[in-house]
Amino acid sequence: MNRRRLFQTAVLAVGLAGIAFAVSETLKDAKENVLPSAGALIVSAVLCQIAIASSARAWVALFSDLVVSRRDRSVLRGTFYLSQITKYLPVGGVAQAASQLGLARTVGVPLKRAAVAFPVSAVGAVVGGSTLGSALVFDSKLPTWARILSLFGLATIVFLHRGLMARVLDLARRFVKRIPGSDQLPTQRDIIVFYGWALVTIGALCAAYAILLHSLTTAMNPFVVFSAFALSWVIGFVVVPIPAGVGVREAVIVALLPGVGAAPLLAASLALRLLSIATELLSILANRVTSRLHGRRIETIEPISSALVAPEAETPVDRVSEA
């Protein structure tokens, strides 16, 4: 077993352990709540699948110059799906970030490119969620300060400007020389494409949550629920040490929807968490099956960054280690 395959297997094993713990804890909490209807669960499961698929495509979009073929895109999506299950580990987003970068490198993406693309993806995700959450300005039940603050979500779009990102990166390099240069940033087009996929990803999750909650209570307008969940998702996302933002998002959603009891809010959240875990596992399986149908197993393909390496004498292992 080569190092690439061994690393992917190790990430899968660790991620499954984290998922087992997360599912166990979620089921314990779910016993104390009435879960959404079967119809709501089915529709939300489809939306969760759309969300994880869109999220993978968003990540791949940041490497448009490297992943030019259908095979390459499938390979990189596969590493993304695998990395997502590690966010349920006790260290939360730290493990997920490390695995996402490490797995991208195993298939030939240069480490500098992946290291710069990851914070770009984080910014794009936060901007996407903030954009959708800005609609809370229309919720008359919230305090005025909260409505004004949510409206500032639209202003976060300025952070998608590549020139601004380059300035921040170059400034950081003055203090930490090991940080890659701004020349490693994705193109402006790729950043905007990522943002578009991020809107689809977070929007699908928001819609899923609104549907799940609506099946439990009609005390709140689904449109308001949609926007409130977007904002809670952002806050849960930026709290990196917490596994998958568990607990943080629930606390925020309760605060943003005071007209709804805590029980249905928690029940909808637990259901969404279980559906998200299931669709993440399904995506890993589906990606591998698809790769086999095409006669190319993800674990044994050539590195996708071969176009970046000029010397023809270099082997695939040389290229991956050099990246």
pLDDT of 178 = 87
How many Cα atoms are found within 13 Å in the side-chain-facing hemisphere of 234? 23
Coil vs helix vs strand at 96:
helix
Is the Cβ–Cβ distance between 231 and 143 less than 8 Å? no
CA distance 310 to 75: 22
Task: Determine the Cα–Cα distance for residues 168 and 231; give it in Å rounded to an integer.
Answer: 25
| Best CA proximity match to 53, nearest among 320, 230, 260, 286 | 286
Amino acid, res. 14: V
**Contact 233/253 with Cβ under 8 angstroms?**
no
Question: Which tens digits make up the pLDDT trace of 135-166?
Answer: 998 888 888 888 888 889 999 999 999 999 99
What confidence score (pLDDT) does residue 302 get?
47
What distance in Å separates the CA atoms of residue 58 and residue 121, rounded to the nearest whole number?
A: 8
* CA 252 – CA 271 distance, rounded (Å): 17
Q: Work out the end-to-end distance of the chain between its first and last CA atoms, rounded to an integer number of angstroms.
A: 21
pLDDT per position as a tens digit, 55-103 = 999 999 999 998 888 888 888 998 999 888 887 776 656 777 888 888 8
The first and second tokens of residue 297, run together, are 């197993």
Average pLDDT of the chain?
Answer: 81
Give the whole-angstrom CA distance, residue 66 versus residue 107: 11
Q: Give the three-class secondary structure for 65.
A: coil
Q: Is 61 exposed, middle or buried (0-12, 13-18, 19+ CB in 10 A)?
A: buried
pLDDT digits (tens, 9 = 90+) for 229-259: 999 999 888 875 555 456 678 888 888 888 7
Q: Is 315 a residue whose pLDDT tops 50?
A: no
pLDDT above 70 covers a percentage of the chain that reads 76
Which CA distances in Å does 237 have to 45, 130, 297? 21, 11, 32
pLDDT digits (tens, 9 = 90+) for 258-306: 878 888 888 898 889 889 988 998 998 888 887 666 554 444 334 454 4
Report the C-alpha gap between 291 and 103 in whole angstroms: 17
User: Quick one: three-class SS letters along 215-256?
Assistant: CCCCCCCHHHHHHHHHHHHHHHHHCCCCHHHCCHHHHHHHHH
pTM: 0.82
**Are the C-beta atoms of residues 112 and 179 closer than 8 Å to each other?**
no
The residue type of 100 is Q
Pair of tokens at residue 238 = 């930026």
Q: Which pLDDT band holds residue 311 (cuts at 50, 70, 90)?
A: very low
pLDDT of residue 224: 92
